[in-house]
């Protein structure tokens, strides 16, 4: 496990350093905060996809890489969590720059970020022991809430603009959901009856 933690840590630090460097080296008067929020969301979405699909993918694909990554989903999840919290930071900068703030319409999104915070804070062995049987359903709810957030956001963007990038992102989200559904029904399918 240690061999996987170091690259993930470096990747996470690199993402934070790149984001921080871009912010510190930019003039707040000319920084495109709207683009910053979009790009940080897309980066975190790409981190989210393997976390959300690895279990289902390993049901169909028995490649050594997939099987080796599955037990490391917690480390991958922490990497995604940090990336998405960086996106939330970009949203805060956007509001500060434009003199705006969250409204009642943002309630669902803020609830999802709260679940993400809980998920990141409890992605460790002591938290697993402390929560006991509550740990798995807590993370399950948070994961699906995050997925619904991505799915509905990119569906809305696709309907609004029809841009190819949103078609790609919505397609990836749809494929991830289809993979989870296929794995679910495949596991429930009864095996062949033995001959008598």
The 10s digit of each residue's pLDDT in 32-42 is: 788 888 888 99
- In Å, how far are 68, 113, 137, 158 from 142, measured between CA atoms? 24, 9, 8, 24
pLDDT for the residue 88: 93
The 10s digit of each residue's pLDDT in 83-137 is: 899 899 989 989 988 899 999 999 999 999 999 999 999 988 899 999 999 999 9
How many angstroms separate the CA atoms of 128 and 135, rounded?
6
* DSSP letter (8 states) at residue 106: G
Residue with more model confidence, 46 or 10: 46
pTM above 0.95, yes or no: no
Residue with more model confidence, 53 or 74: 53
pLDDT for the residue 140: 94
Residue with more model confidence, 181 or 59: 181
| Surface-to-core class of residue 131, CB atoms within 10 Å of its CB (0-12 exposed, 13-18 middle, 19+ buried) | middle
């Amino acid at each position: 496990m240690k061999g996987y933690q170091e690259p993930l840590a470096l990747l996470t630090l690199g993402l934070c350093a790149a984001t921080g460097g871009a912010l510190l080296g930019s003039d707040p008067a000319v920084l495109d905060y709207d683009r910053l929020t979009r790009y940080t969301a897309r980066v975190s979405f790409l981190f989210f996809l393997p976390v959300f699909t690895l279990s289902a993918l390993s049901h169909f694909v028995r490649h050594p890489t997939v099987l080796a990554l599955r037990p490391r989903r917690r480390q991958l999840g922490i990497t995604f969590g940090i990336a998405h919290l960086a996106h939330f930071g970009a949203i805060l900068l956007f509001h500060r720059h434009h003199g705006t703030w969250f409204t009642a319409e943002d309630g669902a999104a803020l609830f999802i970020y709260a679940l993400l915070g809980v998920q990141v804070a409890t992605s460790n062995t002591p938290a697993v022991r402390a929560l006991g049987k509550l740990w798995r359903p807590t993370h399950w709810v948070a994961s699906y809430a995050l997925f619904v957030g991505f799915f509905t956001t990119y569906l809305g963007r696709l309907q609004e603009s029809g841009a190819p990038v949103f078609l790609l992102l919505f397609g990836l989200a749809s494929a991830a959901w289809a993979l989870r559904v296929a794995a679910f029904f495949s596991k429930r399918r009864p095996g062949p009856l033995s001959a008598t």
